[in-house]
Amino acid sequence: MSAVDLETELALAQDEDAARTAATHAGATLESSATGIYWLTMRAPDGERYVARIAWTRYPDHAPSVKFAPEVDGPLDQTSAWPLIPGYRAGNYDICQPFTAEGQAVHSEWGTGPEAWPATGNCLLWVVEQLLHDITDRYQGRSG
């Protein structure tokens, strides 16, 4: 991934603490391995551990790429690292949901209306909350 611009870097730095606090309150951790790349480590109700990589190219203007890895900085091409959640497509290595770049790319109709990317407020926090909600309320097991 290419380096992010200064505006993205500054905006993420401003929003990072609130997102990290929300993750901690949910029993998860949020850490950064490079500018614009975050790793959310969380536990599913069955105790399984998942690590989501959240990668921004332009924040807060565009949705991030969200993929799963077996560990922080790990490979993004292992289906066994993915949870089974509706819209999470392990075989395609993408999440077909409005909070991801992959979902926004597949569904041009999400460019407007209720599924449009908000680009306002703390979008990092919003994405973290979406992932935490899905792992606790929509989780169906581990893929592959």
All structural domains of the chain: 6-137 (3.10.110.10)
Positions of the chain with pLDDT under 50: 1
User: Is residue 39 within 8 Å of 33, Cβ to Cβ?
Assistant: yes
Judging by beta carbons within 10 Å of its beta carbon (0-12, 13-18, 19+), is residue 35 exposed, middle or buried? middle
Identify the pLDDT of residue 74: 97
Q: Is 52 helix (H, G, I), strand (E, B) or coil?
A: strand
Neighbours of 114 (CB within 10 A): 6
pTM as predicted? 0.95
**Alpha carbons 12 and 6: distance in angstroms, whole number:** 10
Neighbours of 27 (CB within 10 A): 11
Identify the pLDDT of residue 1: 43
